Amino acid sequence: MPSIKIVAKEGHEVLSQTTDKNSVALTEASVVTLGVAKADISEIQRNGADVVIRLKSGEVIVIQNFYSTTTATDNSLVLEDGNQLLWVKLTDETGAFLAEVVYEPLTTIEPLLYSEGVPLWAWTAGAVAVGGLAAGLSGGGSDGGNGGGDQGPSAAYKAATAAVVAAEQAYQDAKDALTAANTDGLINPTEKAALEKAKTDAEAAKAAAQAKVEALPATEQTA
């Protein structure tokens, strides 16, 4: 059986991949890549909400809910034909099924995915929030001793500064990891789990930094 891979348009992650099934069901807007050569296809038909691909070998592949109006309303079919990708355009601009299928060459499926990539993660907002913590530090401070003049930054101030720097680095590491994982336009389940942990760690570092900054005396915070 040919390989069938389902990639989420929203999160870019691989939802499923199989080489031992001839029927798959879509649950969200997806790109379905099918390891079949164009020359091996006999016909492609619509059957209700499903797409049925009949191969010259007699094999039949069914993509359920491809035209669903409730669960997955925007789906794309792509053939992995040897060393090239072919976008299988089944409908016209009005959504009507074409009398003759159009095959458009692609170098990657990325143009068919939503550009937000991983929209649930507000990396920039988190980094800006950490920047706000840094702005909350006075830029100096003293031990506050009785006499002896300025003794330099207090231990608490140094700890708060270090915590802010650590939080900034944690967010930068998480953003770098996201960029690396999304190089190929896809985020697999393992990469997604690692990214979620990276973001959780960054948020924990931010919370720790915020607590240390808020605990400083007024003289060591900006007005």
pLDDT value at 39 more than 50? yes
3-state secondary structure of 192: helix
Q: Is 195 within 8 Å of 202 (Cβ atoms)?
A: no
Which of 14, 24, 26 lies closest to 113 in space, CA to CA? 14
Instruction: Name the percent of the chain lying above pLDDT 90.
Output: 32
Q: Which of 139, 151, 144, 164 is nearest to 221 (CA)?
A: 139
Residue 184 pLDDT > 80: no
Which is higher by pLDDT, 206 or 34?
34
With cut-offs at 50, 70 and 90, classify the pLDDT of residue 88: very high
Answer yes or no: is pLDDT of 38 > 70. yes
Model pLDDT, residue 123: 46
As a whole number, the mean pLDDT across the chain is 80
Higher pLDDT, 101 or 138: 101
For the ranges 25-34, 53-62, 83-92, 189-198, the lowest mean pLDDT is seen at 189-198
Residue 66 burial (C-beta neighbours within 10 Å; 0-12, 13-18, 19+): buried
pLDDT at 192: 72
How far the first Cα of the chain sits from its last, in Å, is: 68
**Can you give the pLDDT at residue 100?**
87
pLDDT at residue 183 is higher than 50: yes
Find, among 111, 31, 45, 110, the residue nearest to 74 by Cα: 31
pLDDT top residue among 17 and 98: 17
Q: For residue 211, give the H/E element and its range.
A: helix 189-214
Q: For position 65, what pLDDT does the model report?
A: 94
DSSP-based three-state secondary structure for 45: strand
- The predicted pLDDT at position 141 comes to 52
